[in-house]
């Protein structure tokens, strides 16, 4: 990312090249802007837009230009924050919501500001003076940010023309280098991300040094919109939401149910093959259960509590009534399945699997389509093991997760993260530093032995143990955890779980918490965006549509349909009195894997004319031949690739 000066004829050409291309600098490892005075010997790198820091400074300056344009056009607007983000920038304002016409107007004003080429000037003030300075400018959100800083802090500002902003920088030297900018959208955002605070208006934008790069990015954003599961999932009638039902409580429609059922049956059968026993446990329990596990102490805010939470400081009910809560996880329930009969070392590992419906009281600001909901279903499991079994069982859990990802064609879209405890906040966790170091070391050894490439992240562990999180990003770049495998080093003792070893002694087992596929709703969202609705045939809610050329062939079409259904293929007949070309176009728009066109020749020879999403016109085939081929494709869960097609073949 550091600029390497080219071979040039003289120093002035080199200076001009650097001036026109550099954004910021790295001075002794710290990113600073180019107005920084360098005194003495230092290690210096000049950073261009090709570097992450260069992009961030360029786009951060664009966000200030956005704020200046908004203040010119809407003087009553109050500025909040405006950072650079991965693919652009945003700025939050306390003002009315904006439509596309308003964004275009602001964008036009931004271009005027760039043309003016105002220099960005940095200055600092003591904290008290900075507060008064922003009060005079009637910027309450800036005042609040300054008041949160230490009293001895020196506060930095950047000035460009008539606009001044509270900012740590770094920035470009002036607005002049800003070339290709575009405001993308406007939405609501709570101040500081807290739903209890005021809803602000957030304007998203992006900026590049070349128009061609901006155009390519906008094309990418257009593709993202086509893949957005929130939009596409509704268009395909996979799910919907209703205000009177509640946020984060999606209705899965028949097409979506078919897909989830197919995944669920596949996962349950696969887990059974791998030695799991199925359980079915209640959707709620008394608070007593969650107090034993300590979820009541560590996770109560994320739970839906039924009835009044009328407890004293010791956790005893004041009214004498039992307090219930919907379950946010299944582990405490399955522990009692394990405890129902005494186990010996011969019974271990004891693998329990359940298709579990869970409930979590997520913040309303976090709700998003199917990826963040308040009721969801997961492929949950808990393995009770002897200490010497833990490494092999953990590896088997990783292998199962990878098998699921590979089958769905998602294996290349994930990263692996070892989530550790936060030693700076030990009160958030059970146990002490020595226990956490021991178990985290054991997990690290297992992952290294597998040969897994992973990152480590402090503060992301469960309160009872470290975990391996399998992460994926949605089309907008937001990362979510898709599959989790956790080591539990405390709850067996809290639930008095034990097994009898070879010597007849009681021993505490180890526990692995895991999902094989994760949350079905979130996985469905992932699949919608991955395949843009063009799912592998085995997952498609409608796998084949039979298209009679005219009403004369309706009976044969029904005969073909009956044969397909007899072989377990999800098929329908389009017997509308429409032209065949129209029916084919409709089926293509519905993203169907296969269309079977039938007419006189097909009926006479008991054949079908096959058209597919993958290869276009595949020609006339015996009905039995087509059925054998598609049944194999479904049985093997093949992910058939789309072949390039010429216009005629399409």
The whole-model pTM stands at: 0.81
Average pLDDT along the chain: 91
Q: If you average pLDDT over residues 546-551, what whole number do you get?
A: 96
Is residue 359 within 8 A of residue 326, CB to CB? The reply is yes
User: Distance between CA 120 and CA 165 in Å, rounded?
Assistant: 10
Q: pLDDT (tens digit, 9 = 90+) per residue, 120-138?
A: 999 999 999 999 999 999 9
- DSSP letter (8 states) at residue 62: H
Higher pLDDT, 431 or 285: 285
User: Distance between CA 29 and CA 2 in Å, rounded?
Assistant: 12
What are the two backbone dihedrals, phi and then psi, of residue 126, each rounded to the nearest 5 degrees?
Answer: -65, 160
- Partners of residue 621 on adjacent β-strands: 608
pLDDT, residue 194, reads 84
Q: Are strands 163-166 and 120-126 parallel, antiparallel or unpaired?
A: unpaired
Is residue 385 within 8 A of residue 391, CB to CB? The reply is no
| 197: its two tokens | 């605070």
- DSSP letter (8 states) at residue 109: H
What are the two backbone dihedrals, phi and then psi, of residue 43, each rounded to the nearest 5 degrees?
Answer: -90, 120
Of residues 29, 54, 53, 55, the one with CA closest to residue 43: 29
- Partners of residue 30 on adjacent β-strands: 27
CA-angle at 111, arms to 105 and 115, nearest 5°:
145
User: Distance between CA 337 and CA 421 in Å, rounded?
Assistant: 29
Q: If you average pLDDT over residues 253-282, what whole number do you get?
A: 97
Q: pLDDT (tens digit, 9 = 90+) per residue, 69-113?
A: 999 999 999 999 999 998 899 999 999 999 999 999 999 999 999
pLDDT, residue 12, reads 46
Of residues 166, 158, 83, 160, the one with CA closest to residue 132: 166
Residue 11 has pLDDT above 50, yes or no: no
Q: Are strands 239-240 and 607-612 parallel, antiparallel or unpaired?
A: unpaired
Distances (CA, A) of 249 to 243, 244, 258, 526: 9, 10, 19, 18
Task: Report whether the peptide linkage leading into residue 321 is cis, meaning its omega lies within 30 degrees of zero.
Answer: no
Classified as helix, coil or strand, 251 is: strand
Of residues 188, 204, 185, the one with CA closest to residue 62: 204
Q: Which residues contact 458 (CB under 8 A, 6 or more apart)?
A: 420, 421, 422, 423
What are the two backbone dihedrals, phi and then psi, of residue 530, each rounded to the nearest 5 degrees?
Answer: -65, -45
Q: pLDDT (tens digit, 9 = 90+) per residue, 298-350?
A: 889 899 999 765 666 665 665 557 899 999 999 999 999 999 999 999 999 99
Q: Is the dihedral of CA 204, 206, 211, 212 positive or negative?
A: negative
User: Distance between CA 235 and CA 591 in Å, rounded?
Assistant: 12
How would residue 646 be classed by pLDDT, with cut points 50, 70 and 90? low
How would residue 4 be classed by pLDDT, with cut points 50, 70 and 90? very low
Q: If you average pLDDT over residues 174-201, what whole number do you get?
A: 92
User: Distance between CA 590 and CA 584 in Å, rounded?
Assistant: 10
Residue 20 has pLDDT above 90, yes or no: no
**Which residue's structure tokens are 């390519």?**
216
pLDDT, residue 311, reads 63
Residue 33 has pLDDT above 90, yes or no: no
**Which residue's structure tokens are 């609705």?**
533
pLDDT, residue 297, reads 87
- Partners of residue 160 on adjacent β-strands: 120, 163
Residue 15 has pLDDT above 50, yes or no: no
User: Distance between CA 198 and CA 80 in Å, rounded?
Assistant: 11
| 26: its two tokens | 């790295």
Residue 571 has pLDDT above 70, yes or no: yes
For the ranges 44-48, 154-158, 221-225, the maximum mean pLDDT occurs at 154-158
**Which residue's structure tokens are 């934008």?**
205
- Partners of residue 278 on adjacent β-strands: 353
Is residue 90 within 8 A of residue 83, CB to CB? The reply is yes
Q: pLDDT (tens digit, 9 = 90+) per residue, 106-117?
A: 999 999 999 999
pLDDT, residue 316, reads 62
Environment class of 14 (CB within 10 Å of its CB; exposed 0-12, middle 13-18, buried 19+): middle
Q: pLDDT (tens digit, 9 = 90+) per residue, 405-419?
A: 999 999 999 999 999
Classified as helix, coil or strand, 645 is: coil
User: Distance between CA 535 and CA 645 in Å, rounded?
Assistant: 19
Terminal Cα-to-Cα distance of the chain (whole angstroms) = 45
Q: pLDDT (tens digit, 9 = 90+) per residue, 473-522?
A: 988 888 999 999 999 988 999 999 999 999 999 999 999 999 999 999 99
Is residue 314 within 8 A of residue 237, CB to CB? The reply is no
Distances (CA, A) of 571 to 537, 567, 594: 12, 10, 9
């Amino acid at each position: 990312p550091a600029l390497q000066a080219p071979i040039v004829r003289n120093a002035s050409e080199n200076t001009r090249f650097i001036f026109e291309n550099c954004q910021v600098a790295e001075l002794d490892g710290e990113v600073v802007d180019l107005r920084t005075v360098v005194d003495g010997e230092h290690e210096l790198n000049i950073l261009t837009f090709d570097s992450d820091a260069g992009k961030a400074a360029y786009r951060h300056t664009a966000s200030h230009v956005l704020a200046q344009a908004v203040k010119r056009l809407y003087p009553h607007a109050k500025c909040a924050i405006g950072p650079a983000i991965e693919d652009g920038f945003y700025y939050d304002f306390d003002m009315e919501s904006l439509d596309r016409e308003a964004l275009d107007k602001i964008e036009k004003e931004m271009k005027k500001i760039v043309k003016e080429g105002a220099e960005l000037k940095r200055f600092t003030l003591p904290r008290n003076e900075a507060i008064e300075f922003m009060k005079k400018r009637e910027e309450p959100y800036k005042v609040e940010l300054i008041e949160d800083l230490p009293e001895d802090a020196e506060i930095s500002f950047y000035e460009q023309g008539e606009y001044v902003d509270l900012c740590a920088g770094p920035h470009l030297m002036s607005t002049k280098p800003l070339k290709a900018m575009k405001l993308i959208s406007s939405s609501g955002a709570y101040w500081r991300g807290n739903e209890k605070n005021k809803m602000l208006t957030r304007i998203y934008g992006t900026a590049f040094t070349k128009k061609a790069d901006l155009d390519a990015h906008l094309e990418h954003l257009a593709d993202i919109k086509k893949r957005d599961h929130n939009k596409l999932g509704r268009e395909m009638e996979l799910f919907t939401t209703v205000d009177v039902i509640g946020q984060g409580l999606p209705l899965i429609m028949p097409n979506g149910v078919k897909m989830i059922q197919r995944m669920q049956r596949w996962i349950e059968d696969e887990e059974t093959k791998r030695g799991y026993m199925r359980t079915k446990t209640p959707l709620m329990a008394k608070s007593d259960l969650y107090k034993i596990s300590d979820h009541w102490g560590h996770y109560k805010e994320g739970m839906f509590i039924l009835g009044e939470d009328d407890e004293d400081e010791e956790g005893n009910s004041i009214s004498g009534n039992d307090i219930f809560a919907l379950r946010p996880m299944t582990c405490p329930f399955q522990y009692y399945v394990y405890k129902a009969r005494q186990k010996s070392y011969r019974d271990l590992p004891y693998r329990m699997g359940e298709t579990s419906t869970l409930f979590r009281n997520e913040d309303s600001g976090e709700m998003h389509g199917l990826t963040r909901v308040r009721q969801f279903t997961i492929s949950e499991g808990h393995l009770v093991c002897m200490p010497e079994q833990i490494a092999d069982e953990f590896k088997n859990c990783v292998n199962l997760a990878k098998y699921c990802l590979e089958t769905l064609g998602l294996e290349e879209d994930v990263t692996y993260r070892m989530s550790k405890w936060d030693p700076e906040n030990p009160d958030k966790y059970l146990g002490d530093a020595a226990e956490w170091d021991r178990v985290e070391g054991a997990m690290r050894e297992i992952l290294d032995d597998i040969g897994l490439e992973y990152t480590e992240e402090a503060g992301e562990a469960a309160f009872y143990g470290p975990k391996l999180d399998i992460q994926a990003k949605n089309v907008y770049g937001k990362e979510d955890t898709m599959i989790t495998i956790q080591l539990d080093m405390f709850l067996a003792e809290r639930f008095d779980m034990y097994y009898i070893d070879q010597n007849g002694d009681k021993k505490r087992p180890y526990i692995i918490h895991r999902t094989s596929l994760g949350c079905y709703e979130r996985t469905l969202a992932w699949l919608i965006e991955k395949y843009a609705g063009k799912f592998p045939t085995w997952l498609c809610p409608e796998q084949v549509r039979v298209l009679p050329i005219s009403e004369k062939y309706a009976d044969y079409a029904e005969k073909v349909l009956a044969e397909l259904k007899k072989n377990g293929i999800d098929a329908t007949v389009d017997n509308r009195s429409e032209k065949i070309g129209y029916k084919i176009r409709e089926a293509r728009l519905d993203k169907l894997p296969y269309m079977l066109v039938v007419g006189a020749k097909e009926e006479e020879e008991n054949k079908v004319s096959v058209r597919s999403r993958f290869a276009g016109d595949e020609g006339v085939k015996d009905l039995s031949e087509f059925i054998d081929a598609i049944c194999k494709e479904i049985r093997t869960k093949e992910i058939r690739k789309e072949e390039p097609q010429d216009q005629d073949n399409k």
